[in-house]
Chains A and B, each alone.
Chain A
């Protein structure tokens, strides 16, 4: 099994390298470079060209890639044009914010998905099941950016239960209890909004797994052993149905990335998603690059996580 996991981890290395090469080539294709628009318009073209030569901007792409990549490895993501600061410093705080937002969303997603999926699957084709599947259809059909706005309007502005923007109330001492509480409060509404939409695919998935597993023959074997219905569900159906859900976990991260982009914009939450959109609008390419790279790596690691979880819980995949 360890062999499998090590091999699986090794595969991610070329994946990440390929991702960075593609990303770099795309960035190269974007118009302009570090000098255009940044230097005095009175500087002559010759001087600019000399400067380009000196800075290595005329070097072939693979040389430039090598330089960029070696910077990356050392944690140097370049400079932001807009904020005039290293991209890594800019991203750090936002990454932490997005991490907590994603974690809260994931937890709420599963808190909703598991009971609903189990109820819907166990009592399939009843009114209870129909109303749960009804919710999932609505969830599938509702765009997150509309739903987020409605949630913000209802719970943020009308009921005023939650703050409407930011990630923390200004002026609080970092590390104090009020500070943590305020962070959690700012996190909750975007996380709930995202989870309510995101959870529907997991509910559906779990439901269909349970309905499927219920008809498998080993369930009949379990009943023939004299196991009670609740034992049949807890011991046999649930474990077999939760397995693909556990494996799905890593891919949830990929969906989260898409979700945070919308939700952070709507809720004015200073995270990676918001930074991504802002940087695109400001043509802050080094930041866009860094954010896309981090999103890409997160997706690759999510898939890795899925495979590792599956290899741990499913004996059929344990390769010796």
Chain B
């Protein structure tokens, strides 16, 4: 049984640079249901983390417009006190870099216990310690009693990421946001951490937003996928649909950039994600990186089009997109 857990409508998160505001997340709308993993993919700088921080209300100096409904309550526009009641309890987040995400001066046990102190004040000290040890065990850290007393610098990166996960799941959150949870870890640990997240989703019946730039991870983990480019969602679909029938030029390019067997040369997407200030606010934002596609293929104000049930694509250029030949690509590159 899937219920709508999170609904984001026209979210716009802007940062002030000099005298102007620049939107890092622009007109993003999406939903997350429980017991579902929504993958969000995109290059660095595409606004994935800015989106995650907006949901958690963690931006300290950003202007946030639009609505974020969590179980019907608009958490984009509530008081800090009310938000703090939700954060760490109903909403939780796993961070990118486990090496810096823990307070270097606090014992592991105390750091995990802090979420319990904040949201379950009725727990006795003994109950709390038991729960913390249970959590340490749950994220498969050996010797919980020992680790309870340790400081972050005494643990490896993988162990620290487990602690970060233990903090996030301490109060059985309904919505878990994992912001590139495995980027800083090596591949073997990566698989274990991902298994852990999937198990937790099944056990707690939570919704998960999994942010990553690793398409392999998305293919394996997600139920639905949103592809972000330059602060916008350019394509959103069920995971099978997206991998079998990608439509947006950016999605196609991303998938084409993944090495496959027998492939000699990797596809490289020309150029880079434009910086916030240089981002074109009109027209298709991906146009500059596919210069060989005719300008008339793009919409002036690209919108999301529902091409089949649950499958949305931004801008009309998808129907005119093709990969250039190697020789032509060189020519186009020389021209751009």
> A-side interface residues toward B, CB under 8 Å?
216-218, 220-229, 231, 235-236, 239-240, 243, 313-316
Q: Is the CB of A224 within 8 A of B56?
A: yes
Q: List, in ascending order, chain B residues with CB within 8 A of A313's CB.
A: 105
B84's contact among A228, A240, A316, by CB below 8 Å, is which? A228
B89 within 8 A of A: yes
> B-side interface residues toward A, CB under 8 Å?
56, 58, 80-81, 84-89, 92-93, 95, 97, 100-105, 114-115, 118-119, 151, 153, 164, 167-168
Known contacts A221-B103, A225-B88; 4 further A-B pairs (Cβ under 8 A)? A217-B97, A224-B88, A226-B118, A227-B114
A316's contact among B89, B92, B101, B151, by CB below 8 Å, is which? B151
Which B residue sits closest to A227, measured CB to CB?
B118
Tell me the smallest distance from the CB of A313 to a CB of chain B, in Å: 8
Looking at A223, A231, A235, A313, the one whose CB has the most chain B CB atoms below 10 A away is: A223
The 3 closest A-B pairs by CB, nearest first: A226-B88, A225-B88, A226-B87
A315's contact among B58, B80, B105, B118, by CB below 8 Å, is which? B105
> Complex: how many Å from CA A240 to CA B102?
12
Q: Assuming the A-B contacts A228-B81, A315-B153, A316-B151, are A221 and B102 also in contact, with contact meaning beta carbons closer than 8 angstroms in the complex?
A: yes
Q: List, in ascending order, chain A residues with CB within 8 A of B103's CB.
A: 218, 221-222, 236, 240
Q: List, in ascending order, chain B residues with CB within 8 A of A243's CB.
A: 105
Q: Is the CB of B114 within 8 A of A316?
A: no
Q: List, in ascending order, chain A residues with CB within 8 A of B84's CB.
A: 226-228
Tell me the smallest distance from the CB of A214 to a CB of chain B, in Å: 9
Q: Assuming the A-B contacts A218-B100, A315-B105, are A223 and B164 also in contact, with contact meaning beta carbons closer than 8 angstroms in the complex?
A: no
Q: List, in ascending order, chain A residues with CB within 8 A of B89's CB.
A: 226
Which A residue sits closest to B107, measured CB to CB?
A315
> Complex: how many Å from CA A316 to CA B153?
7
Q: List, in ascending order, chain B residues with CB within 8 A of A316's CB.
A: 104, 151, 153
> Complex: how many Å from CA A178 to CA B93?
63
Q: Is the CB of B104 within 8 A of A221?
A: no
Q: Assuming the A-B contacts A217-B100, A221-B167, A315-B151, are A226 and B85 also in contact, with contact meaning beta carbons closer than 8 angstroms in the complex?
A: yes
Q: List, in ascending order, chain A residues with CB within 8 A of B93's CB.
A: 224
Q: Assuming the A-B contacts A221-B167, A223-B58, A223-B87, are A228 and B104 also in contact, with contact meaning beta carbons closer than 8 angstroms in the complex?
A: no
At the interface, is chain A mostly helix, strand, loop or mixed? helix
Tell me the smallest distance from the CB of A107 to a CB of chain B, in Å: 25
Tell me the smallest distance from the CB of A35 to a CB of chain B, in Å: 61
Which B residue sits closest to A316, measured CB to CB?
B153
> Complex: how many Å from CA A226 to CA B132?
17
Tell me the smallest distance from the CB of B321 to a CB of chain A, in Å: 38
Q: List, in ascending order, chain A residues with CB within 8 A of B153's CB.
A: 315-316
Which A residue sits closest to B88, measured CB to CB?
A226
Q: List, in ascending order, chain B residues with CB within 8 A of A217's CB.
A: 95, 97, 100-101
Q: List, in ascending order, chain B residues with CB within 8 A of A227's CB.
A: 84, 88, 114, 118
Q: List, in ascending order, chain A residues with CB within 8 A of B164's CB.
A: 221
> Complex: how many Å from CA A235 to CA B118?
13
Chosen A-B contacts, 25 in total, with CB atoms closer than 8 Å, are: A217-B95, A217-B97, A217-B100, A217-B101, A218-B100, A221-B95, A221-B102, A221-B164, A221-B167, A222-B103, A224-B88, A225-B114, A225-B118, A226-B84, A226-B85, A226-B88, A226-B118, A227-B114, A228-B84, A229-B80, A231-B118, A240-B103, A240-B105, A315-B104, A315-B151
Looking at A227, A229, A231, the one whose CB has the most chain B CB atoms below 10 A away is: A227
Which B residue sits closest to A315, measured CB to CB?
B151
Which A residue sits closest to B104, measured CB to CB?
A316
Q: List, in ascending order, chain B residues with CB within 8 A of A223's CB.
A: 58, 87
Tell me the smallest distance from the CB of A68 to a CB of chain B, in Å: 46
Q: Is the CB of B104 within 8 A of A240?
A: yes
Looking at B86, B102, B104, the one whose CB has the most chain A CB atoms below 10 A away is: B104
Looking at A220, A221, A225, A227, the one whose CB has the most chain B CB atoms below 10 A away is: A225
Tell me the smallest distance from the CB of B80 to a CB of chain A, in Å: 7
> Complex: how many Å from CA A313 to CA B153?
15
A239's contact among B102, B105, B168, by CB below 8 Å, is which? B105
Q: Is the CB of A218 within 8 A of B101?
A: yes
> Complex: how many Å from CA A240 to CA B106?
10
> Complex: how many Å from CA A221 to CA B56?
11
Q: List, in ascending order, chain B residues with CB within 8 A of A221's CB.
A: 95, 101-103, 164, 167
> Complex: how many Å from CA A235 to CA B102?
13
Which A residue sits closest to B84, measured CB to CB?
A226
Looking at A216, A224, A315, the one whose CB has the most chain B CB atoms below 10 A away is: A224
Q: List, in ascending order, chain B residues with CB within 8 A of A240's CB.
A: 103-105
Q: Is the CB of A226 within 8 A of B86?
A: yes
Q: List, in ascending order, chain A residues with CB within 8 A of B115's CB.
A: 225-226
Q: List, in ascending order, chain B residues with CB within 8 A of A228's CB.
A: 80-81, 84
Tell me the smallest distance from the CB of A1 to a CB of chain B, in Å: 13
> Complex: how many Å from CA A316 to CA B102?
13
B58's contact among A216, A220, A231, A239, by CB below 8 Å, is which? A220
> Complex: how many Å from CA A315 to CA B84?
29
